[in-house]
Structure 1
């Protein structure tokens, strides 16, 4: 897919990143359609699309020429049917288990914002497990996600900030 962008626009940074930006944009529409099909609710579908728009990792991956955004695009494009709750729950658990293992086994620091790709699975799991309370739960998730994007925005968009501020934003430390 990156080669298609290079073919259209040449071997430059725009050509490398073009197809990633297209895949990131289309994945938002696919997420909306997928959640609408799974829940039957236009509101929840649009909310899932909004959450994906606000996701800092999705924003970052859509701007770079890495393969992760294409993997997410094709996973979202894969259609789920009767086993949809199991798939959503499996995706959520599979996203957390490696982080917990490496944090405990190797005594590593676990950066929470790196687990952002599991956010869509968390939204789908909450929606499918608690359909009567899904709007309240997803409203809270949306507010937390928006606050997270606001807090990490300078880091995710590679703004030049002092080292102390970067550490404060990454580790939730009080400002100096």
Structure 2
């Protein structure tokens, strides 16, 4: 069982609304609250690792991203850590997924071992970042996920809840 689980935000925890800076547009994906509750019952640390290139592109501010974070936590409960990459795809940073920087930062701040950390996301960059960081990656594809990324993923799950159940060894009470 992992010590920590890190989630991608858009398309994984909440419905993907491109460059969303509007808290009123936040909608959790089905099963998100139940999945997070199951992890919390086991004392597993929870975090969010999210690329937010809208900041670099001038489409969002840090305040917008923080407002969405607060809304996510109102709907899904608190997270132990949020780590956001504000850079664009061509900025050459070390944090933007698929680079492992966001995961390295989260693991260090949480004080957990990367080998005891799982990362759940909806695109190949999420699981590639997990692999590069030495963490377990689980891809939960949605309608926007490239089928080649699904084929390349070492581990997939059909829903967020089933991904969490796999991490917990199939805890039946979480599926209620």
Q: TM-score, normalised by structure 2?
A: 0.31
Which has the larger helix fraction? Answer: 1
Which has the larger strand fraction? Answer: 2
Q: TM-score, normalised by structure 1?
A: 0.31
Choose between structure 1 and 2 for higher RCO, CA contacts under 8 A separated by at least 6 residues.
Answer: 2
